[in-house]
Amino acid sequence: MDFIRFSGELFIYFVLIALGGGVLCAFMALTFKSIGIDIGPFFQPWLIPCGAAGAVVIASWLVEAKQGVMESLAPMLTRLFTPLFAAMLVAFLGTLLWSGRGVAIAREMLIGFDLLLVVVLGLLV
């Protein structure tokens, strides 16, 4: 019975982490696209395999650490994704300063940056 509970919770945590990682990748692609840098070749060979392997490890650790504790998933996801989003924004700022390119002011980019601000606000609140 413990194996079924562990496997079920592992699957739920993994799916939540994978969905959050997908949102992080989408925002990363959007922000770097706004300065004219294509980071698509970085995703397939590096980010997705490393992220999937890391998500399995983190989800397994969370299932074992939260065993028998009924805690909300929102604070756990916030503690997991706040440093990742911060690192992504710092990398974007560094790339923006290093490349010397300006941000393309297009309607789609502005909507994407507004959504990014909403996600950051959600992580902080």
Token pair for 32: 């770097």
| pLDDT averaged over every residue in the chain | 84
Lowest mean pLDDT among 39-43, 65-69, 110-114, 120-124: 65-69
Domain count for the chain, please give it. 1
Crossing angle for the helix pair 2-33 and 107-124, to the nearest 10 degrees: 140
- Give the amino acid at 55: A
Q: Which residue has the tokens 């990014």?
A: 116
Q: Which residue has the tokens 């440093």?
A: 83
Token pair for 10: 């592992």
> Domain range spanning residue 50?
2-124
pTM for the full model? 0.80
CB 85 within 8 A of CB 119: yes
For 12-69, write each residue's pLDDT tens digit.
Answer: 889 989 998 888 888 888 888 888 888 888 877 888 889 899 999 998 988 887 765 5
Pairwise pLDDT comparison (63 vs 125), residue with the higher score:
63
pLDDT at 53: 92
